[in-house]
Amino acid sequence: MKERSLIFFDIDGTLLNHKKQLPASAKEAVFKLKEQGHEVAIATGRAPFMFEDLREELGIGTFVSYNGQYVVLNGEEIYTNPLHITSLSQLTEKALANNHPVVYMDHEDMKANVPEHHFITESIATLKINSFPAYDPTYHEGRNLYQTLLFCPEGEETQYEVEFKDFDFIRWHPVSVDVIPSGGSKANGIGKIVERLGISTEHIYAFGDGLNDIEMLTTVHNSVAMGNALDEVKEVAKHVTTSVEEDGILHGLKMVGLL
């Protein structure tokens, strides 16, 4: 048997295609990896409750969620990095004044600070998930939150970036931005799992396609960008596979010698 490796997969645009479907070739590839004794994990910007079905379908119990802020190893929570609550309250005040809604997110649920807004409806719909944020403007009080969604048109997040240094802002949709703790990243979350498992650097792999994958692909020894990835993502990856629509996971795993 090959020496055990640890492989991280992003979800949207990597495991799932643009229709949010898991290609049969990707599913088969994941099961082959597991049969060979490798550790397979997910590294995503999504909340844990947004990919429960995918984890169940693939039999994966290890994941980095919220871009590294909530990390689980074999079903056990091993690392959390919550948002600074005072700064979040201040950001909420500014966002309300600008008619920019926010959605508060912990590991179990998400709640909006406004009853409804077309920016929220438009962007959340693209995820094709079963959950939708209900209205609860006080959800950020007295609990750990690992990510907030700020809804604003492209470029308007700049004013928040200048004022709120406790946070990083990562755009994932034309009208929505992920707000995470400053310096938080998938790479940090991956590091927590690697420490626990003790797998050597040369046996760590990561696949991704988006802006929130750049630090992960820069840090992980064996990095693979999807063919559908942004150019700036491809530039930092060691390898570039075909697109998710063209069996990119299977092709990439063969490219790096894991299958």
* Residues classed as catalytic: 10
Helices (H), 76-148: 85-97, 118-125
Angle among Cα 168, 9, 238 to the nearest 5 degrees reads 85
Q: Are 104 and 95 in contact (CB under 8 A)?
A: no
Angle among Cα 74, 80, 86 to the nearest 5 degrees reads 160
Helices (H), 140-239: 158-163, 186-197, 214-219, 231-236
Identify which of 5, 65, 10, 55 has the alpha carbon closest to the alpha carbon of residue 194: 5
36-to-40, 57, 152, 220, 241 alpha-carbon distances in Å = 11, 18, 45, 21, 22
